[in-house]
Amino acid sequence: MDQPRQPKDLQGLLKFCVEATKAEDAPGDTESTIANMDPERRQWLEQALAGMSVDVVKELVEAIKVLNSSSVQDPNASEEDLEKIEYIFDCTGDWVGQVDMANNFHKIGGFDSLFKCLKSPHASVRNQAGNIIAELSQNNPYCQENFVKENFLELLFNILKSDYDVQVKAMYAISCIVRDSSMAQDKFLELNGSAVVMNTTMESKSEKLRIKACFFISALCEENGAIKQAFIDMGLPRQILTLMQMEEHQQSHEHMTRALLVVLTDEVKKELVNSSELNLKTFLQERLDLIKGQEEFDEERMYLQEIAKACYGQFVKTDSKADVDR
């Protein structure tokens, strides 16, 4: 349980050595260490790594056995069993960081195990499963498509709607499956994903959840015009403006402003910009006045300025402050 994990590549071996010699002030930047390494030393380390090599697929097979064990579904599982499962998730995360190993994890039945883990009575197991799903999906079309085919989005949407202990990881997993995947985006539209995300995240008291959701919305609306229109039809601009006007200033407001920028611009939605109900121009002016002169809100200020310029073709900038021309 407590033994260190075997490194899988040269960078992993260097990290392993650095962590083992922290007391001796070993350098901590492994990437620069590799780049500047003497060829003879590099050869020695690669030979050392070869002697420590492990069969990753075999390790993944053993990990899947643990993830399929009765402890995962047993509400009375011991703390020791849950710690073992956590350790297995950590190891699995290391192994599947390589695209080929991520794909192999699917081929040997790992996705079936993750689906079951998402239904575990233990929030820790569900959270770790969500995290691994996100890691497997990033920059990996093969895994994204298979998560869609095996109905993970439906399950993750249900978790997002009702499992408050796992919402953040569920949002993270959904985001990684859907971004940069046309198949997943089609499924997102089919499942009315815009409504699910808006209704469960935007008014949440979890800042972390709202930030992840806004990042996802921004990225997705930049990629897919149909999804952008779906968020508009669901009333996202009005929801963002209402929340930002009702609340004390929150960290998530910067990310909401970014989402508003993406939704309103590119092809400016004139019916929204000129809507008396939305009253966007007044909102922009009041918001800019509120954060005037406060450097910590520079990003939000920049987004507000960009919205004003795109929608009304005008803004005034003086000493890092900005106002919409009245």
Please tell me which residue, 246 or 25, carries the higher pLDDT value.
246
Angular region, 192: left φ>0, alpha ψ -120 to 50, beta rest? left
- pTM above 0.95? no
* Paired strand residues for 140: none
pLDDT digits (tens, 9 = 90+) for 46-67: 666 655 556 889 999 999 999 9
DSSP one-letter code for 81: H
At 309 the pLDDT is 87
- The pLDDT-based confidence of 209 (bands split at 50, 70, 90) is very high
Q: Cite the DSSP H helix spans in 206-248.
A: 207-223, 225-233, 236-246
pLDDT digits (tens, 9 = 90+) for 294-307: 888 999 999 999 99
pLDDT averaged over every residue in the chain: 85
Least confident of 30-44, 168-182, 188-202: 30-44
- The pLDDT-based confidence of 15 (bands split at 50, 70, 90) is low
Q: 């800019």: which residue's tokens?
A: 288
List the structure tokens of 44: 């020695």
At 55 the pLDDT is 82
Please give the C-alpha separations between residue 273 and each of 230, 238, 243, 307, in angstroms, as whole numbers.
17, 11, 18, 10
* Paired strand residues for 316: 323
Average pLDDT over residues 311-319: 60
At 322 the pLDDT is 44
At 191 the pLDDT is 97
Q: 């849950």: which residue's tokens?
A: 82
One-letter amino acid for residue 272 of the chain = L
Average pLDDT over residues 267-278: 70
At 321 the pLDDT is 44
DSSP one-letter code for 6: P
Q: 């005034």: which residue's tokens?
A: 316
Average pLDDT over residues 304-314: 85
pLDDT digits (tens, 9 = 90+) for 140-163: 999 999 999 999 999 999 999 999
List the structure tokens of 103: 């794909």
At 118 the pLDDT is 98
Q: How far apart are CA 269 and CA 275, in angstroms?
A: 10
Q: 């002016």: which residue's tokens?
A: 285
Going 208 to 179 to 234 to 118, the CA torsion angle's sign is negative
List the structure tokens of 84: 């073992």
The verdict on domain 1-14+55-71+79-191 having CATH code 1.25.10.10 is yes
At 54 the pLDDT is 67
Does 43 score more than 90 pLDDT? no
Q: How far apart are CA 239 and CA 316, in angstroms?
A: 27
Please give the C-alpha separations between residue 255 and each of 249, 282, 292, 308, in angstroms, as whole numbers.
12, 20, 18, 17
Neighbours of 87 (CB within 10 A): 16
Please tell me which residue, 189 or 52, carries the higher pLDDT value.
189
- The pLDDT-based confidence of 325 (bands split at 50, 70, 90) is very low
Does 124 score more than 70 pLDDT? yes
- The pLDDT-based confidence of 16 (bands split at 50, 70, 90) is low
At 268 the pLDDT is 59
Average pLDDT over residues 161-167: 95
DSSP letter string over 243-278?
HHHHSPP-THHHHHHHHHHHHHTTTT-HHHHT-TTT
User: First vs last Cα of the chain: how many Å apart?
Assistant: 65
